[in-house]
Amino acid sequence: MFNSVLDIGISKTLFLIDEVRDIDKTSFDFDIIEVKSILPEIHQKLIERYNPFEVCCALKPVLGLYQLKNKDYEHLIYADTDLCFYSSLSVVFEELGNKDFLLTPHCYESPKDYEKISELDINATGLYNGGFYVLKDSENSKSILEWWSSKTINKGYNDVAKGMFVDQIWLNYLPIYFNNIIVSKNKSVNMAYWNLHERLLSIDNGFNCNGNKLVMYHFSGFRLSRPDLVSIHQTRYSFSNLPELTALFKAYFLIWSNSKNLKYNDYGYTYSRESKFSKIKKGIKKKIIKQFRNENSF
């Protein structure tokens, strides 16, 4: 994700809820910070309360607020690590303009069926995607992050039956509770499996979305072990009915599968005994990964 950012002058930080262990920080062009080293009380509370997915999501506004309070930034971008950028982020900053906070909705147009992911799924998990947000350093932005953090720290479970879906469900309230928020209208931003019904990918001097340069694709639910699937979270699309996605996914698969950092995928979660997270048995996981690396759709 970091390597794909084309813009210069952007400071990059990766936050770990786990321990660094044998990671060589000097081999990366971004900062690596253990959350427990900067927010020990919050870190301990979260790892005891949540599974790793919930912890990561709960920390999105917490760490955004930490950055604003401790760094001198004009803007702050949060990006999930399964995002990949294909053109400049300048269009995002232009759209933000004089607003304080930019959100991206899951879709702008109604799907024509109720396959996953439909409006019923979006109703349960949130109108806006929590995997990408942009803000301006302002008192309003800090107020937004403080409110959002209070929700994710205490009610950030993945439990849709009880009205919770980690950090994301709380984003529904931001345009209501706060001012100076903009909902992005740019379809080349945060393209993903949940909005493929309204977005057409093409290749012409790079990847394009609906005729404009694709800014980013969100590879949510794509797995090295299942490269034949667009996403494990949906049932509507495949590489058969959307063959134009093949080149995009193949390039992403090759970069990821050939990365020298792939070994970290097999690391267990340090705090598994302290949280409610149950680890997948290493032997089974390695067998699955080996099988699909040898027999993959690309």
Q: Quick one: average pLDDT of 227-234?
A: 96
- 154 has pLDDT over 70: yes
Tens digits of per-residue pLDDT, 3-59?
A: 999 999 999 999 999 988 888 888 888 999 999 999 999 999 999 999 999 999 999
pLDDT of the residue at 269:
87
Map residue 34 onto helix, strand or coil. strand
Q: For residue 190, how many other CB atoms are within 10 A of its CB?
A: 28
pLDDT of the residue at 271:
87
Domain ranges of the chain: 2-294
What is d(CA 154, CA 45) in angstroms, rounded to the nearest whole number? Answer: 10
Q: Quick one: average pLDDT of 125-137?
A: 98
Q: How confident is the model at residue 263 (pLDDT cuts 50, 70, 90)?
A: confident
Map residue 18 onto helix, strand or coil. coil
What is the distance of C-alpha 192 from the center of its chain? 11
Burial of 120 (0-12, 13-18, 19+ CB in 10 A): exposed
Tens digits of per-residue pLDDT, 173-188?
A: 999 999 999 999 999 9
Tens digits of per-residue pLDDT, 52-101?
A: 999 999 999 999 999 999 999 999 999 999 999 999 999 999 999 999 99
What is d(CA 111, CA 285) in angstroms, rounded to the nearest whole number? Answer: 35
Q: Quick one: average pLDDT of 182-201?
A: 97
- What torsion, rounded to 10 degrees, do the Cα atoms 255, 132, 277, 292 define? -20
Map residue 163 onto helix, strand or coil. coil
Contact 201, 251 (CB under 8 A): no
Contact 257, 140 (CB under 8 A): no
- Looking at the chain, the number of H-run helices and the number of E-run strands are 9, 14
The answer for residues whose C-beta is within 8 angstroms of residue 131's C-beta and 6 or more apart is: 79, 80, 82, 83, 190, 218, 220
pLDDT of the residue at 280:
46
- 237 has pLDDT over 60: yes
